[in-house]
Amino acid sequence: NAGVTQTPKFQVLKTGQSMTLQCAQDMNHEYMSWYRQDPGMGLRLIHYSVGAGITDQGEVPNGYNVSRSTTEDFPLRLLSAAPSQTSVYFCASSYLTGGYGYTFGSGTRLTVV
Amino acid sequence: DAKTTQPTSMDCAEGRAANLPCNHSTISGNEYVYWYRQIHSQGPQYIIHGLKNNETNEMASLIITEDRKSSTLILPHATLRDTAVYYCIVLNDYKLSFGAGTTVTVRA
């Protein structure tokens, strides 16, 4: 099993550009989520999904869009990148039923200049 | 949402047990306590979780008080590779909410 795969690992964007961060999991997990981590801080939840076709906002959703067309994929779209979105982005997945740990990807390091 | 309180940092000698406390006094009866750690800037790594009973796996032990208002993560024989930020999280409605965690430094 590959687990949770995030691409790209590094990205530099100019202000105003758009891009999509990819996240894929091969564990048939229902739940998927996106977090951002700013330097020296904990992870903050951006968006999450409890299954294909179902998404919801976390604590810091502004400036980001998500969709969940398949169980495996949960892309995160930055519509118009801003320097404040410079961060490390982590994708995580899990089974919905309680008692299972979450699997995290290795992260995408995004710099907006 | 149940909040957790952890010490900001702690040191531990290599080979000794590391005991990491966590307070979660507002936890509800069906909420799990999870522990994760993050080494450098890697993705968080699952360590252990529990509901009521004490739990043990190959990485650590989790001791939950009878009233469930606090817990302790025990790393039985800390190594230099256990240096990391450790997060105690109460799972709410599938969502993991990360606080600042405890920065654990294992010293030789």
User: Does B49 contact A101 at a Cβ distance shorter than 8 Å?
Assistant: yes
User: Does A42 contact B49 at a Cβ distance shorter than 8 Å?
Assistant: no
Instruction: Say if residue A39's pLDDT is above 90.
Output: no
- Looking at beta carbons, which residues of chain A come within 8 Å of B98? 35, 42-44
* pLDDT single digits (tens) B41-74: 899 999 999 999 899 999 999 999 999 999 999 9
What number is the average pLDDT over the span A29-34?
94
- CA distance, residue A55 to nearest chain B CA (Å): 13
Confidence category of residue B2, pLDDT binned at 50, 70, 90: low
* pLDDT single digits (tens) A67-87: 999 999 999 999 999 999 999
Instruction: Say if residue B93's pLDDT is above 80.
Output: no
User: Could you tell me where the DSSP H helices lie in A51-99?
Assistant: none
User: Does B100 contact A105 at a Cβ distance shorter than 8 Å?
Assistant: no
Amino acid B92: pLDDT: 74
**Arithmetic mean of pLDDT over chain A:** 93
- Looking at beta carbons, which residues of chain B come within 8 Å of A58? 95
Cα–Cα distance measured from residue B69 to residue B26, given in angstroms and rounded to the nearest whole number: 7
Tell me which DSSP letter residue B85 carries.
E
Instruction: Say if residue B37's pLDDT is above 70.
Output: yes
Q: Is the peptide bond before A8 cis (omega within 30 degrees of 0)?
A: yes
B92 vs A17 pLDDT, higher one: A17
Long-range CB contact pairs, A95-99, < 8 A, 24+? A95/A29, A95/A30, A95/A31, A96/A30, A96/A31, A96/A50, A96/A51, A96/B94, A98/B30, A98/B32, A98/B91, A99/B32, A99/B49, A99/B51
